[in-house]
Structures are given as C-alpha cells and as structure tokens.
Amino acid sequence: MNYSDIGMDTASLAGSLESKLAAVRGAGFAQVMISASDVVGHPGGTAAGVRVVRDSGLTITGLEALRDFEGLSGQLHAYKVDVAKSMLEICGQIGGRLLLVEASTSTHADTGLDAIARDLSKLAVMAIPLGIRIAYKGLSWSRTARDFRTAGDLVYRANCPNLGLAIDVFDVLAAGVPQDDLDAIDPQQIFIVQLSDYMWQEARSTEEQVATATHFRVFPGEGAHSEALAQFVTRLDAYGYYGDYSFDVYNDDYLQMPPETVAERALRAAEWLGETVLRRALPVPNMERLLGPAGP
Amino acid sequence: MTNALDREAVPDSRNPLGFDGIEFIEFATSHPQALGGVLEAMGFRPIARHRSREVELYRQGAMNIVVNAQPADLPRTAQPVERPVISAFAVRVRDADLAFRRALDLGAWGIPVRARAMELNIPAIHGVGESLVYFVDRHDKFSIYDVDFNTIPTVDPHPPALCGLHFFGLVQYVGTDRTADWVAFYSQIFGFTALPNKVRFGIMPKGLLLQSPCRNFFLQLIEPDETARFAPMEEHLQRIGLGTPDVMAAVADLERRGVEFLATEQVHSSERGALTKPLLGSVMFELVKSPAEEPAPQR
C-alpha cells in the first residue's frame, strides 16, 4: 500500500496493544495513532507498552488524547498541567511528535478567549523541549471550541509555532459546520486531519452527536456521508494540506470483532480515499516531505 | 482617564527578567581531568571544588565553567560519559525565584530542588535535549560559589582572561523545522529576540541568531543539512562561543598554549573568528570578534 500518510487509531481495535499493532501493520498501514490508555494499560507496565510501540516498526502519527486542559485555574489547572506533562513524556517515549488535545467540555473551564489562549500557549511551550507538536481539536459539545474554526481562532491567538489544529471531518458531517469555514484556516496550521463517518443521515441533538461520535463511527466510505466526506478531503488536498490523515473511528461493534477484520475494513477505506477520492497516481509523491524554496 | 496607555499598544519591557549575561556554563563528563586539560589550554584555571558533589569550577576573567562528573539523579538530564557535553548554562537575572516561577507559568519544566543542607537552591528548568537552564540572582552582591564550593588553596581565584575572552554565545543544534519552536521558547521565557539574517558574527554563518535581552549574549540555532533531514532528531548545545576584541592575537596566544584551530578552505582563522579542532569527541570553542563592551550587531 502506498498511502503512507493515512493511518489507523488503536482506539478502533480490540485486544492487546501487541495484537492491535500487528493488525495495523498486517493490513499494510505504515502509521498508527496511539491511545495513551493502550500504552499505560499494558499488562507489563508503561515501559513495556512503550517498548511494544517502538518495536512495532510503525510510524507514530501521535498520541491521543489530552482532554479538558484549557481554561482551568488554581488546583485544577496545576493538576491538568501534571496530566499534560505525563502525556507529553509518554508521547516522547513512544517516538510520537504530536499530541492530540480535545477542546474542553469541563463545566469548570473559563471560556474567556485570553485564558484559553494562554493555556494553549503554555501547553505548546511545554511540548517544545520534547519536540512535540500540539494539535488542538474543537468538539461540537465543547465549552471552549465547538468547531475547527473557533479552534483555529484560538490557535491563532495563542501564537506558538508548534501549536496547530486537528480537524475532525465529523464536525462537518454531524455538527453542520460549513465546509467554507476551511477558507479561514491557514493550511500550515493544520497538523492532522481525522476521518470517520456514521451510518445515519443526521445527528440532531448534542446528546445524539456525543453518542454517535463516541460509539457509532465507521470508516470513511462505509457511512452515509461518503460524498460530503470526499468533497471535504478533496478540498483540503487542493487547499495545500500535505499532512497525515488518521481514522478516528470509535465503534462499539468493532471492539467485538477481531482486530484483523477491522484493520481490513480500514484498509478498504484507505484505498477508497487514495484511489477514488484523491485519485493518486502510484507511486505516491506525498511520501516525501516537500522542501521549501531554495535561497534565503 | 483610567489608563494612560490604553489607546496604544505599548510593548512590554524588552528585558522583563532583568537578564544580565551568563553566570556559568556547565559540562558533564565522567573524565573531568581530561576536560580540565582542554579548559586549561583555553586559558581557564581550576578554582574550587564542590563541597558534596564531584564538581569543579574553572574560571578565566568573568567566565565560569563548571565541570560536573556527578552521576545524574534526574530524568532528562545529562548522564556524565567520557565524551563531554554542555549540560547547562546559568543566566543572571534580577530575581531568580520570580524568573523561575514566571518560566513555569509560561510552560517551562522545573526540576525538583536538589540542594543539600546549607547549599544554595539554584532553580532550573529543562532546556534543549538533556540540558538545564539555571537562574542566578544577586551575582554582584556575593559569589554563589562561596556557598557550595571549597576554594583550591594557593590558586588565584580571579585569573585574568586571555586577550579579553568572554562568553559570547552558545551554538544549539536543533531538529529539522524546529528553529521557530526554539525561537518561541527562548523569546517567551527569557526575552531573546531573533536577529535579521544579514546580521552575522564570526566565521560560522549557518542558522538563526537570537540576541539576549541584555544584548551581550547570543544563541545560534542550527538545523541539520538537507541530507540529514530525515535522520532522527538530535538536539543539543554544541559549542561555546568566546568573544575577543582581537581574534588573531587570541589565536596566536592559544596556539602557543597548544590549542589547534581548524584551517581548511571553508573554515580557517580570520579577523572575524576562528574555530578550534574538536577534542575529546566533540568539545570545540569558537572565537568571535567582538568589542569587550556591548557588541553592536554588524549591519
């Protein structure tokens, strides 16, 4: 497979970390997004989990997910800083260069823009010595950033070079964010794009969106919104996004299926994406990093 | 009128920490005698030994170099091995505690207190790779070394500098596309500012220069060559830059003391600067032409 910039999430798979990584690799993927709980939950301990990831031969898309970080104060803030440090350390240990951060849903969060931007900037500075980038993702049920456009404003405000956006196509498919909102985002600011679909036409209420997002996602090409998803990805591509795609598919059924079977479904999604949507010729030129213009 | 400044964006002070140069630079090595030999050839003299740790202080003029052979007791700090590495530098600030707490607020990683009874607690944060950055204050009121170090008897505690040598800067190797990250780190936490590309000192022009808020100290950030872009990220403090008003006189003086300088077509001693041959694996010093007083950028 030549889609080296498309990866799976370990969160989509059942089983031990070893069997998840073997399934991802066995299907032919070159990269994988690691759930922190898979590493620290390893029966042999965190160090053993780290070793398994490092020995897998897979490129690490990143570590997910730091939640409810921004907007807190006092003891709560200090506590979350400790959580963030722990996740950054694990991310560094597994060879990850990206930490996914989901916008806060905490009722304790101060939703003032300056407070959020200050916390995001602090998190980004914390990640600099470890060589990690922070990808901030809006959630439609968040109190601080409901979509990628708001998240983009906050990232712009926080103004740190290793702070960027994670865009989840679910925003567009389920929460009704207009695709045109992409025009407000600098493609350089997008650090990762997460792709998934779902089976029904609409998720109307917030509760329904939360339930759909956390239990009923399917791989791209499997759901009811293939056309909109394809449009969005084509637009990103034309827009100059050259980063990674990862399948953030959280599905309770997939957690009751053999990981190899689920990984095969993911592979079909990657092929659909690469061949039908992005119409890539082989070999894929995207495998190499694009170099900047020569000269000063 | 409630706020006299609320109609215009008046920038913050250029030097919020009262940054005032470098107090010391530290090497870690398990072979401190070998490094000591190199430092002595460069004009440094051993002055004092730490009371409780295997640490020695070398000095020349206003420059202090600490040689640390104590096994590291903290994660992400340099474990002394045979090949010496630059493991820390200490910045002089107006209020070390304030600077340290401000740095933590901005996202720096502090290290736990390690001082034993009656020793100085010098606050520090994690820097590039396995290095630390210390904050030192009241450097003009008393010597921090009087507290933690025993002076070596009979040596002059203030050996003069050869040819006006003084700390000019540090060269830091950074990973691919990581310059902007480190510019953000040093500018937010310490108030460094990036200099325009046309400003260059010495004979090694690669990378990007950052100037300290006191204007007397520089960091040079260098990314890997194109061919090494895909190699694993290696980031560390690579070498010390020493300023001198007369590079050729300093080169002649140091050569008499047995120091060898690179003399290739690309890199050779000149009025602008010079570079010593690497010793003990990777220890190099760069000489840079600079006035003894505040160096003005060459435009």
Residue matched to tokens 């999430």: A9
pLDDT at residue B291, as a whole number: 63
Which residues make beta-bridge pairs with A102? Answer: A67, A137
Instruction: Over range A264-277, report the average pLDDT.
Output: 93
A291 and B197 within 8 Å at the Cβ level: the answer is no
pLDDT at residue A2, as a whole number: 63
Q: What was the ipTM of the complex prediction?
A: 0.89
Q: Strands A31-35 and A59-67, how do they pair?
A: parallel
Q: How is residue A287 written in tokens?
A: 């495998």
- The tens digit of pLDDT for each residue in B217-230 reads 999 999 998 777 77
Whether the per-residue pLDDT at B43 is higher than 70: the answer is: yes
Asked if residue B70 lies in contact with residue B88, where contact means CB atoms within 8 angstroms, the answer is no
User: Which residues of B are less than 8 Å from A85 in CB distance?
Assistant: 109
> Please, which pLDDT band fits residue B131 given cuts at 50, 70 and 90?
very high
> Please, which pLDDT band fits residue B10 given cuts at 50, 70 and 90?
low
Lowest-pLDDT range, A58-62, A205-209, A227-231, B68-72?
A205-209
Angstrom distance (rounded) from CA A214 to CA A208: 10
- The tens digit of pLDDT for each residue in A221-233 reads 999 999 999 999 9
Angstrom distance (rounded) from CA B263 to CA B60: 26
- The tens digit of pLDDT for each residue in A12-50 reads 999 999 999 999 999 999 999 999 999 999 999 999 999
Angstrom distance (rounded) from CA A286 to CA A280: 9
The proportion of chain B whose per-residue pLDDT surpasses 90, expressed as a percent, equals 72
- Among B77, B125, B132, smallest CA distance to B103 is for B125
Whether the per-residue pLDDT at A285 is higher than 80: the answer is: no
Which residues make beta-bridge pairs with A9? Answer: A33
Rounded mean pLDDT of chain A?
A: 91
pLDDT at residue B4, as a whole number: 54
- The tens digit of pLDDT for each residue in A145-189 reads 989 999 999 999 999 999 999 999 988 888 888 889 999 899 999
B106 and A121 within 8 Å at the Cβ level: the answer is yes
Q: Looking at residue A240, what DSSP letter applies?
A: T
Lowest-pLDDT range, A173-182, B88-97, B178-187?
A173-182
What is the pTM for the complete model shown?
0.91
Torsion of CA A9, A14, A20, A24, to 10 degrees: -60
Q: Which residue of B has its CA nearest to A118?
A: B106
Residues 160-179 of chain B with CB under 8 A from chain A are 175, 178
How close B191 gets to chain A, by Cα (Å)?
14
Reported as half-sphere exposure (CB side, CA atoms, 13 A), residue A198 has a value of: 26
B184 and A162 within 8 Å at the Cβ level: the answer is yes
A161 and B183 within 8 Å at the Cβ level: the answer is yes
Angstrom distance (rounded) from CA A63 to CA A73: 25
User: Which residues of A are less than 8 Å from B226 in CB distance?
Assistant: 291
Instruction: Over range A203-208, report the average pLDDT.
Output: 85
How close B77 gets to chain A, by Cα (Å)?
12
Q: Is B197 on the interface with A (CB under 8 A)?
A: yes
Preceding omega of B249 cis (within 30 degrees of 0): no
Q: Strands B273-275 and B285-289, how do they pair?
A: antiparallel
Angstrom distance (rounded) from CA B45 to CA B157: 9
The proportion of chain B whose per-residue pLDDT surpasses 70, expressed as a percent, equals 92
pLDDT at residue A294, as a whole number: 45
Whether the per-residue pLDDT at A215 is higher than 60: the answer is: yes
Instruction: Over range B204-216, report the average pLDDT.
Output: 94
Domains for chain B: give ranges and CATH numbers. Answer: 22-151 (3.10.180.10), 162-289 (3.10.180.10)
Sign (positive/negative) of CA torsion A11, A15, A18, A21? negative
Lowest-pLDDT range, A123-137, A187-201, A234-248, B283-297?
B283-297
pLDDT at residue A93, as a whole number: 96
- The tens digit of pLDDT for each residue in B47-64 reads 999 998 999 999 999 999
Q: Strands A244-247 and A190-195, how do they pair?
A: parallel
Q: Which residues contact A280 (CB under 8 A, 6 or more apart)?
A: A2, A3, A274, A286
How close B127 gets to chain A, by Cα (Å)?
6
pLDDT at residue A282, as a whole number: 56
Domains for chain A: give ranges and CATH numbers. Answer: 6-287 (3.20.20.150)
Q: Which residues contact B39 (CB under 8 A, 6 or more apart)?
A: B58, B65, B67
A124 and B107 within 8 Å at the Cβ level: the answer is yes
Q: Where are the beta strands (DSSP E) in A189-284?
A: 190-195, 197-198, 217-218, 244-247
Reported as half-sphere exposure (CB side, CA atoms, 13 A), residue B288 has a value of: 29
- The tens digit of pLDDT for each residue in B145-165 reads 888 999 999 999 999 999 999
Rounded mean pLDDT of chain B?
A: 90
Whether the per-residue pLDDT at B36 is higher than 50: the answer is: yes
> Please, which pLDDT band fits residue B298 given cuts at 50, 70 and 90?
very low
- The tens digit of pLDDT for each residue in B235-269 reads 999 999 999 999 999 999 999 999 999 999 889 89
Reported as half-sphere exposure (CB side, CA atoms, 13 A), residue B26 has a value of: 23
